[in-house]
Amino acid sequence: MAEIRQATMFDISAIQACDLLCFPDEDPWDYFLYEEYIVFWPRLVYVAEDSVTGCIVGYVFAQVDGEGTENHGYIANLCVVPTHRKQGIAKELMDASQNALVQEYGSEYVSLHIRTTTLADIPEIAACDLVCFPSEDSSVCFSFFNDSILSPLKVVFVAEYGGRIVGYVVSMKLEEEDEAEEAAAEEEEDIQGYIDYLGVHPTCRKLGIAAKLMTAAQNALVQEYGCDCVYLHVRQSNYAAIDLYIKILGYIFHDTIAKFYVDGEDAYVMRKQLPGKQPDHLVLGFSHGGGCFWSKANAELLGLLDRLEIC
């Protein structure tokens, strides 16, 4: 268990240590930047303190962007140490900052950016990927993302949250001669897409980021390649991902492939029929209460996205 409280100047050293545990490959913020946030946004900086040891095991730094009634919140930094993840601490920290943003500043949403990638993003994407999947080879990881970004048949999106890349998705159009397409196709005339890879940093799971990345990828498959449907593979033991795909994103079970993964685990093949071409929506955000803010033009999607609670 952890207690959520406002941060003070005396917490900065512990916050820096926490930061290094969460992001060992990155330099922590400068001491004076932590200090600046606590001075200028004292009601928007929270820490999670272990109720037994008294150690700081997580934190969130938020700020207000914009002016007057046009302001919105921004999460500058969010972290929970590996030993205390999957306990709901990240959500409690987010709830505390979101409540303060609403009550103190009248903010309507907290920004999260989903955007296409560039080659300059590869080191940060790879670092995130190796946290998500630590058994992977780093050189293979770099090569995969490099080839994916350069491929004319793939689109790669990243999620930027708290000033860092915290998630990514790789989608692709299946070519006619692709064996995976032959195995998955229901109708020969369908132009088919495939979700090749999806990951969200452990610190930022259960905040709806995976669903937003998937939505961006699906939209790109429609807009860029005219895809009629999309397929993906998922481990049979990955219940959280299966819930996301079925309950929130509308996928259905299509097939099962025995021993699909290197360790011998079977995979479900899942399929979703895609709608017609839709407007781009690459800038997303959380509203107070964990829902999702979209532009007015995309308001019809709110009924789906207000239920983001799995990843």
Q: Tens of pLDDT along 70-97?
A: 677 888 888 888 888 878 888 899 889 8
pLDDT for 143: 92
pLDDT for 292: 31
Low-confidence winner among 31-40, 186-195, 259-268 (lowest mean pLDDT):
186-195
What residues does 161 pair with on adjacent strands? 164
Q: Tens of pLDDT along 205-228?
A: 877 889 889 999 998 999 889 999
Query: What's the predicted TM-score (pTM) here?
Result: 0.60
Phi first, then psi: give them for residue 57, nearest 5 degrees.
Answer: -120, 5
pLDDT for 276: 64
148 has a pLDDT exceeding 90: yes
Give me the residue spans of the domains in the chain. 2-105, 113-176+189-273
Which two tokens mark 50? Answer: 């272990």
Name the fold adopted by 113-176+189-273. Aminopeptidase (3.40.630)
| Choice between 299 and 43, residue whose per-residue pLDDT is larger | 43
Amino acid at 77: N
DSSP string, the chain: -EEEEE--GGGHHHHHHHHHHH-TTSPPPPHHHHHHHHHH-GGGEEEEEETTT--EEEEEEEEEESSGGG-EEEEEEEEE-GGGTTSSHHHHHHHHHHHHHHHHH---EEEEEEEE--GGGHHHHHHHHHHHSTTS-HHHHHHHHHHHHH-TTEEEEEEEETTEEEEEEEEEEPPTT-HHHHHH-SSTT--EEEEEEEEE-GGGTTSSHHHHHHHHHHHHHHHHH--SEEEEEEETT-HHHHHIIIIIT--EEEEEETT-STTS--EEEEEEE--S------EEEEETTS-EE--GGGGGGHHHHTT----
Domain 2-105 and domain 113-176+189-273 have a common topology? yes
**Rounded distance between C-alpha atoms, residue 297 and residue 310, angstroms:** 25
296 has a pLDDT exceeding 60: no
What's the CATH class of domain 2-105?
A: alpha beta
pLDDT for 122: 94
